[in-house]
């Protein structure tokens, strides 16, 4: 009898799990906090709840715990963002802050590119105006 092949770690585990995603999102929201275009899209006084939602979503998407879905249901990203005008300028501002955040992680190039590719595609998908 042969031993089962070792399972490859999820992307979530491969890049360092929750601490890495928290660093990513914290860095992203540092930029959002002072962005005149994006900040008004976050009605809460404190960006903490939005940061937590994004962290949980990204962790789940990349193979971490399913806390996002168990507490918020299906992501329905376009529906959840429908109340906000997400035009090309908003997309580009979001991408600028997210690029800084991704770059700050110091990931190996292949992982950096995989993460960035997803985030860039997601940003283009969210444009609704």
Residue whose token pair is 């595609």: 121
Burial class of residue 4 (count of CB atoms within 10 Å of its CB; 0-12, 13-18, 19+) = exposed
- How confident is the prediction along the chain (129 residues), in pLDDT tens digits per residue? 666 666 789 999 999 999 999 999 999 999 999 999 999 998 878 899 999 999 999 999 999 999 988 887 776 666 665 677 889 999 999 999 999 999 999 999 999 999 999 999 999 999 988
44 CB contacts (<8 Å, ≥6 apart)? 50
pLDDT for position 8: 85
User: Do residues 105 and 15 lie in contact, with contact meaning Cβ atoms separated by under 8 Å?
Assistant: yes
pLDDT at 3: 62
For the chain, the structural domain boundaries read 15-125
Considering the entire predicted model, what is its pTM? 0.88
Residue-level pLDDT at 81: 59
- State the alpha helices, DSSP H only, in 34-65: 48-61
Fold (CATH) for 15-125? Globin-like (1.10.490)
What pLDDT score was predicted for residue 69? Answer: 86
Residue 124: CB partners within 8 Å, gap ≥ 6? Answer: 91
**What is residue 71's predicted lDDT score, i.e. its pLDDT?**
87
């Amino acid at each position: 009898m042969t031993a089962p092949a070792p399972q490859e770690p999820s992307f979530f585990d491969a890049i360092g799990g929750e601490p890495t995603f928290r660093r990513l999102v914290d860095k992203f929201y540092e930029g959002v906090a002072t962005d005149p275009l994006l900040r008004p899209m976050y009605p809460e006084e404190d960006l903490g709840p939005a940061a937590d939602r994004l962290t949980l979503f990204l962790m789940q998407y990349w193979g971490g715990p399913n806390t996002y879905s168990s507490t918020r249901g299906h992501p329905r990203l376009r529906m959840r963002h429908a109340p906000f005008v997400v035009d090309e300028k908003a997309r580009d501002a979001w991408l600028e802050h997210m690029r800084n955040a991704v770059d700050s992680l110091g990931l190996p190039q292949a992982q950096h590119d995989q993460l960035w590719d997803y985030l860039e595609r997601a940003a283009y998908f969210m444009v609704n105006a």
